[in-house]
Each structure stands twice: as C-alpha cells, then as structure tokens.
Structure 1
Amino acid sequence: MGEIRNAERTQKNILEAARKEFFDKGFKGARIESIAENAGVKKQLIYHYFKGKAELLEAVLADSTTSEPEWVSRIPDHPLHIAEHRFKVNSQVRADFIKFSAWEALESRENPASWNKGGEAALQSYAAFWKAQKEKGVVPPDVEPELWALALTALTTYPIIFGNITQIITGCESTDPEFQSRWSTFLTRLSESILTKKNE
C-alpha cells in the first residue's frame, strides 16, 4: 500500500510541477528537465509515467478539470446569468489555463487542438447549448447562436488575457474584485439586452 501511495504522491508532484511549467512557459517553452527538478524527481521517472511532453500536458489538463470546485460545473438556471458564471469560472478558477490557451493560439503548431480534446468538446457543447436555446426561443431569430457563443467566450476571457489593456481602459486590474463585480453585472445586462429583445 505504501508503494502505491508513494507512486500517487510522485505523480501528483509531477503534475503540479508540469502545470506550473506549461502554464508559465507554454508547450514549446516547457522543459521536462525543469519539471523534474521542481517535482523533486529524476527526468527518467517522468518518462516512466508519461510517454512524452504531449501526454504529460494532456494529463495536466485532465487533472485540472477533475480538481475544479463543484460549483464550476453548475449551469445557472437562467441563460441570462451564463456569461456572468463563465467569467467567474474563468477569472477565479481557470485564469492560468485561459492565459495558456492564448499563448498556445499564438504559437504555430501542426495540430494546435490535439492536446486539448476535452476543451474542444466543451466549446462545441457550449455552441450546441446556445443552438438549443434558440430552438426554445431564448435566442432571438436574428442572432446566430454560434456567434453569440463566440462573443460570450471572448467577453469572458479577454479581460483575463489582456489584463494590461483592461487596466488602461478601466483603470482597474482584471483581478480586482470590484472590477470583476462590475464586469459581471455588465455581462448580465448585455445578455439581457440581447436575449430579451423583442422579436422583429
């Protein structure tokens, strides 16, 4: 039993060190040597558990998802509050991952989505959710649900990725609770203006 616990602890240390390395430096900049050093293990031991850097990143992303607080996966009862909820999730739980995603989007890789099938599926599910809301009449006829999903994704990630621009425009840090409260209120009001406008 002790060996199993030690192996689990070792893997946990590796994943924590890898998460910091990937999220700080991106996939290309991350080094297995640095991960091993920060995890307090030999490089060869990482290759014992993971085939390579790509598999290690996949494990980090999977672990990040399973270790999120329970409230993250709760969908608000009313669609008007979904943007506010997503911004709260992104700013309070997924900020490092959001920044990592932006970093990765700027790097030229042959298969940029291959490392994050879960994230790809989540975004497709988000678009499908809004398509279903349109069928229910929640999304107005003249609003394309895919574009609404894209707009909300942009609005709930931009202040996190571009904290410097957020600060220049608003005078507030994107991590400031007062700014986050104001932005959340704005997102709800924007959702209300779009989703409750009269059908033409």
Structure 2
Amino acid sequence: ANGFAGARTDAIARRAHVNERMIFYCFESKEGLYRAVLKQKLAAKAAMIESTPDKDFTSSLITGFDECCDDADSLRMWQWEALDKTNRKLVAEEERRAVLQSEVARWRRAKASGILPADADEEMLLLVSCALRVFPLILPQVVSLVTGMDPLDPEFRGRWTACLEWIGQRLLVPAVKSGDEPDGKEKGPVKARKQSPPRTAAGGGRH
C-alpha cells in the first residue's frame, strides 16, 4: 500500500497479528520481507511463462491485463518504486530481470519460427505489451475522464480486452513474402471474440 520506503514493520505486524520481532526473526529486515513478497510473485509469473511457452502476443496481452486487474497490489508496489528518487538499488533486481528476459526470449523464439515479423524488436515489443496491460490501472483517472468508468468495472474490462485483441491481431501480422499470393479471402476487420464477463478484482472500487 505504501511501497518499500513508506512501509513500517510495526504497522505490518499489527495487521498480520504477529509480534514485530517475528518479522525480523523470519526475514531479518524490512528488505528481506519485501524480497520474500517479490520472490513469491516472481515465482508465480515464471511458472506461468514456462507453462505457456507458445502463447501468442494477443493472448499474452489479454491474460496479462486480467492478471494485473486481479493483482493491483503488485502494480502499486512497482509504482511506489518508480516514484522513489533516492536511487536505492532495486530489490531482487536480478530475479526480476530474469523473469522479464524469459518473456523477451519467448518473442525471440516466435520471431525465429516466423510467428512474428522478422523486423519485430522483441525487447520493445515487451515494453509495448507491458504498457498496454497496465495503462488503465496506473492512470485510472484518464480512464474515468475518457469513458466515465472505473478500470475495474466489468464493462470497461470487457471493452479494453476487445481492444487489446483488436490491437494484437493487427500489430504483428507477418509480412507477405515476395512472390507470395494472397489467399483470396476477404481481409475485412477482424471481429473480436465475445468475452465472458471478467471477474472484478477484490477491492475494485475507484482508487
């Protein structure tokens, strides 16, 4: 809720109904506790990436947005970290880099297999993907000003999911090789598949 700098172990202990000394016994320091939380989140993310090695870009956008909606606390941690101007070394920096690089490797393999265009920059592609997944949640006031809705509103989530699918289907259409002939099928707009009502994240009120 308050980021690493703003977190207080006495407040955490009260909320967890434990003696504050137990936090230091188990984790040694506030940073140790922070690292343990990140490690748990990173392990879940790494397992998801490993279990879906062939996930396409469009699906990764949609599921990534759903995951962010269901775990807004993690986004808040990253936002507090971005606002910290003390130049403190990132906690679990190498572990986080490894998870992100595994996503880059996924798009690199997709490019090598021809699923993605040969001129796609896999690192920039990951940044684009991250931006599309988190934007409504990190700037909810912009969503409200444009649509009049909260980003966790099921109606907005459905509309954003359809938009992500639309973007994904058009952003990375493999280039037609020289000499190839079109298949003759009509190339009209792709209709987004009907989405089931998204689950509203816990505490889904306006932030």
Query: Following superposition, which runs of at least 4 residues in structure 1 exceed 6 angstroms of deviation?
Result: 70-73
Moved more, 168-177 or 72-81: 72-81
Matches within 5 A, 1:143-162: 143-162=120-139
Q: In the alignment, which residue of structure 2 is the partner of 1:81? A: 59
1:154 and 1:77 mapped to 2: Cα distance? Answer: 18
Q: In the alignment, which residue of structure 1 is the partner of 2:75? A: 98
Deviations 1:62-102 (A, max 9, x none): 3345679x98975374443211111111112x211012101
Corresponding position: 1:165 with 2:142: yes
Corresponding position: 1:186 with 2:167: no
Of Structure 1 and Structure 2, which has the larger fraction of its residues in helix? 1
Corresponding position: 1:32 with 2:27: no
1:192 and 1:40 mapped to 2: Cα distance? Answer: 49
Give the Å deviation of 1:109. Answer: 4.0
2:149 and 2:51 mapped to 1: Cα distance? Answer: 29
**What is the letter of the counterpart of residue 179 of structure 1?**
F
1:65 and 1:137 mapped to 2: Cα distance? Answer: 29
Structure 2 gaps, min length 5: 178-207
Q: In the alignment, which residue of structure 2 is the partner of 1:6? A: none
Sequence identity, in percent? 28
Contact 2:68-2:75 within 8 A present in 1 as well: yes
**What is the letter of the counterpart of residue 177 of structure 1?**
P
Query: Residue 146 and residue 153 in structure 1: after superposition, are their counterparts in 2 closer, same or farther (change >3 A)?
Result: same
Contact 1:58-1:115 within 8 A present in 2 as well: yes
When normalised by structure 1's length, the TM-score is: 0.77
Corresponding position: 1:42 with 2:19: yes
When normalised by structure 2's length, the TM-score is: 0.74
Moved more, 110-119 or 80-89: 110-119
Structure 1 gaps, min length 5: 1-23
**What is the letter of the counterpart of residue 149 of structure 1?**
L
Higher RCO (CA < 8 A, seq sep 6+) = 2
Query: Residue 67 and residue 85 in structure 1: after superposition, are their counterparts in 2 closer, same or farther (change >3 A)?
Result: closer
Query: Residue 185 and residue 191 in structure 1: after superposition, are their counterparts in 2 closer, same or farther (change >3 A)?
Result: same
| RMSD over aligned Cα atoms | 2.4
Number of equivalenced pairs = 175
1:156 and 1:81 mapped to 2: Cα distance? Answer: 11
